Amino acid sequence: MKQKIKPIPKFKNEDAERDFWATHDTTEYFDMSKEVKFDFSELKLTAKPITLRLPLSLISDLKRLANKRDVPYQSLMKVWLAEKVQKENRTI
């Protein structure tokens, strides 16, 4: 016999929704046999653009190194910066 799917209630805020899902079984509210498609086109970026003045030679070197790795140079910079910050945080 197929289980009846319960309707998901409306929530006042994220805290109320979080509390609800912490105490309820999601399998009672979703049909796991059906594919669910999501539209993320309206999500806001969580990154904040900044202005950073770098020597042209450093930018050229970064672009060359990024090209060897087949990644955008700004992505490579973000990865390296995140790794360095993480390393520094471990030493504090």
| CATH code for the domain of 71 | 1.10.1220
Q: Judge whether 47 and 58 are in contact, CB under 8 Å.
A: no
Mean pLDDT, rounded, for 37-46: 84
Q: Judge if 30 and 62 occupy the same domain.
A: no
**Counted domains in the chain:** 2
- Structural domain that includes position 27: 1-35
Q: Judge if 6 and 26 occupy the same domain.
A: yes
Q: Judge if 48 and 31 occupy the same domain.
A: no
Q: Judge if 86 and 53 occupy the same domain.
A: yes
- What's the pLDDT at 37? 85
* pLDDT tens digits, 1-38: 567 889 999 999 999 999 999 999 988 998 888 888 88
Q: What is the mean pLDDT of the chain?
A: 91
- What's the pLDDT at 4? 84
Residue written as tokens 């990024």?
66
Helices 73-91 & 56-69 angle (0-180, nearest 10): 100
Indicate whether this model's pTM tops 0.85: no
